[in-house]
Amino acid sequence: MKAEADRKILDSYLGAGVKRETTDSSLLISSSRYLNSPQIRDIIATWLLRKNGPDFPVEADHTLGLSTAMAQVNPAHETAALMEEERKINPAFDAWLKEGFISTYTNDDFHKYAPGTVGGIISKQIKERGFDIQLGLDLNNFDPSNAYDYWRVRSRQTHDFEHIITGGQFNSLGEIPVIFGRTVNEATHLSPALASRLGAYTMFAGLRMISRSLLHYPETWPMAMRLLEQGIRVGRESPPFWFFRWEEVFHLTPAEARVHFGMPEAEEIECFREASIFREDPEMMALAAE
């Protein structure tokens, strides 16, 4: 009972500035465009609070519709307008968009690179895990003149390479430094409004790893924090990730690639054991125990 009384005292203190508003709406309504979306409310709750399991793998979260719901509350034309404003004040960003470089590599192009190089690491993932380095992109008729479409295509093309330079292994927890490295890098080098818009979906993708780790897999929490810290540091201290021309470093080791791009040092953080616990994957757990 004392705990309940203490809670009421604290609530009274913290809620001193609350002003309750009324509405004639028969539906839930908020000043937040995100909270006004029933789809986002439902999916985010699932993303942040669910447990993992082999019946619905972690990566399958992306099939639940958050991307579509986000596109409805953040229309593409608004994001495109923010990008046009950025081009006016950020000459390097403008020049990058004008160039419109698109990578044309295929899976087979990586098998000639030595083990331990950036290209060799990607080759290993292709051979052992069936990676599609272009993530299903069909670029035969792609027009890079649409800035927002170009941004999205390049972000998909470079995601797996960002695993390598941020030190995130190719597993669920290894996404943490990649995701937060990218979102912090955007916030460091782009205007706040544009960074917010570009990073909204990605931010939730990372937060779901953090919340589930703490809530359901506490033995993985210290590792999750270590991965988060490295991602934030690398993202903040690096040049814009989107400027990197990955073809220049396929033959280099990750450490050499970071030097080439002017990035800080970073280690590949071994998190296979924690990732197997996080995914509730019996096969991964068995391998982690060997």
Exposure b/e, 229-243, CB count within 10 A at least 16 = b: ebbbbbbebbebbbe
pLDDT for 69-89, tens place per residue?
A: 999 999 999 999 999 999 999
Mean pLDDT score of the chain: 92
pLDDT bin (cut points 50, 70, 90) of residue 8 is confident
pLDDT for 196-208, tens place per residue?
A: 999 999 999 999 9
- Closest by CA to 58, choosing from 206, 234, 249, 264, is 206
Instruction: Give the bridge partners for 56, in sequence order.
Output: 53
Residues written for the chain: 290
Q: How many CB atoms lie within 10 A of CB 9?
A: 9
Q: Is the model's pLDDT at 290 over the cut of 50?
A: no
| More confident site: 45 or 105 | 45
pLDDT for 37-66, tens place per residue?
A: 999 999 999 999 999 998 999 999 999 999
Question: DSSP readout, 59-106?
Answer: GGGGGSSHHHHHHHHS-HHHHHHHHHHHHHH-HHHHHHHHH-------
pTM: 0.90
Q: Is the model's pLDDT at 2 over the cut of 60?
A: yes
pLDDT for 226-270, tens place per residue?
A: 999 999 999 999 999 999 999 999 999 999 999 999 999 999 999
Q: What is the pLDDT of residue 29?
A: 82
- Closest by CA to 248, choosing from 238, 237, 258, is 258
Q: How far apart are CA 195 and CA 233, in angstroms?
A: 17
pLDDT for 127-170, tens place per residue?
A: 998 888 876 677 777 888 899 999 999 999 999 999 999 999 99
pLDDT bin (cut points 50, 70, 90) of residue 284 is low
pLDDT for 188-231, tens place per residue?
A: 999 999 999 999 999 999 999 999 999 999 999 999 999 999 99
Q: How far apart are CA 79 and CA 193, in angstroms?
A: 9
pLDDT bin (cut points 50, 70, 90) of residue 13 is low
Residue ranges per domain, the chain? 77-289
